[in-house]
Amino acid sequence: MNWNLISAELRAQVLELSHQAKAAHLASALSCIDILAVLYESILVFDPNNLDWPDRDRFILSKGHAAAGLYAVLSRKGVLHPSQLATYGKANSLLEEHPSPNLPGVEAATGSLGHGLPIANGMALASRIQKKSFRVYALLSDGECNEGSVWEAAMFAARHKLSNLCAIVDFNKWQATGRSQEVLALDPLVDKWRAFGWAVEEIDGHDHDQLSTQLSRKCAGLPRVYIAHTVKGKGISFMEDDNNWHYRVPTRDEINMAREELGLE
């Protein structure tokens, strides 16, 4: 599988979505594209032609502001028709700037940060109660870990030994107004999750092979969280680690420059 090409095409799609809708959070979507690509291409058990299949794995984009990345992946998997992407961010479109469960392929409304992991907890517990085999994956932002509801959910998952639950923290070191560590004392993030009773692994959130190997692992008796080190704006040199792109919208010239860097021109 040509992971670099897949991620490059997804990044280009996210750039187009941001440009056409004049929508923010571009860099936040770019930082987690590789994670989304690996999840949907090699990890999640689901059928694009039967989205209500009871035994499907569940994925929750808790960092809902990265919805453009999710839409690009769902389009690639055939869940969304390419023509639907043109409606992103427009009035009455199902492709809102934060995910809505009215859209096929979206399990829950997210974007009010701190809600995704509690929802994932409920789904993971339901899987056990119903004696199902499906797993639940939740992708969080590092800034989202400021929310008390994340840690309440972390305690719940550890208490119930939800080993069918996997959380991934997109640790790009930024949030809306500054460095994550400067806004609140986020570090030591690994030790915090471990203290809350989770199996914790640090990984490179842009290494497709590492992501594929690690995210396929099961953990006996414990929920697992991956602290995925990423770069905000990854893949575009003039956007990388620049928090201005949390809200900035690319011009057509900037998109052309980016596509060239991505090897798509």
pLDDT in tens, 40-63: 999 999 999 999 999 999 999 999
Please say if the pLDDT value at position 97 is more than 90: yes
- For residue 264, the model assigns a pLDDT of 96
The pLDDT confidence band at residue 173, using thresholds 50, 70 and 90, is very high
For the chain, the domain total comes to 1
- pLDDT band for position 265 (50/70/90)? confident
End-to-end CA distance of the chain: 21
Task: Reply yes or no on whether the pLDDT at 220 is more than 90.
Answer: no
What's the mean pLDDT in 213-222?
91
Give the pLDDT band (50/70/90) at residue 203.
Answer: very high
Is the pLDDT at 212 greater than 90? The verdict is yes
State how far the Cα of 62 lies from the Cα of 209, in Å rounded to an integer: 23
Rounded to an integer, the average pLDDT of 194-216 is: 97
* pTM of the complete model: 0.97
Averaged over 106-126, what is the pLDDT? 97
Nearest-Å Rg of the Cα atoms of the chain is: 17
Query: Which CATH number is 61's domain given?
Result: 3.40.50.970
CA 189/CA 10 separation, integer angstroms: 29
Q: Kindly state the tokens that stand for 40.
A: 């949907």
Domain of 202 in residue numbering reads as: 3-261
Contact criterion met (CB below 8 Å) for 20 and 88: yes
Q: What is the pLDDT of residues 118-166, one digit of tens each?
A: 999 999 999 999 999 999 999 999 999 999 999 999 999 999 999 999 9
Q: Look at residue 197 and tell me whether its pLDDT is greater than 90.
A: yes
Task: Answer yes or no: are the C-beta atoms of 5 and 12 closer than 8 Å.
Answer: no
Give me the mean pLDDT over the 204-208 stretch: 98
Using CA of residue 35, residue 40, residue 42, residue 43, what is the dihedral sign? positive
- The torsion angles phi and psi of 156, rounded to 5 degrees, stand at -60, -45
Report pLDDT for 263: 96
Asked if residue 212 lies in contact with residue 43, where contact means CB atoms within 8 angstroms, the answer is yes
Q: How many CB atoms are located within 10 Å of the residue 84 CB?
A: 17
Assign 228 a pLDDT band (cuts: 50, 70, 90): very high
Quick one: pLDDT at residue 135? Answer: 97
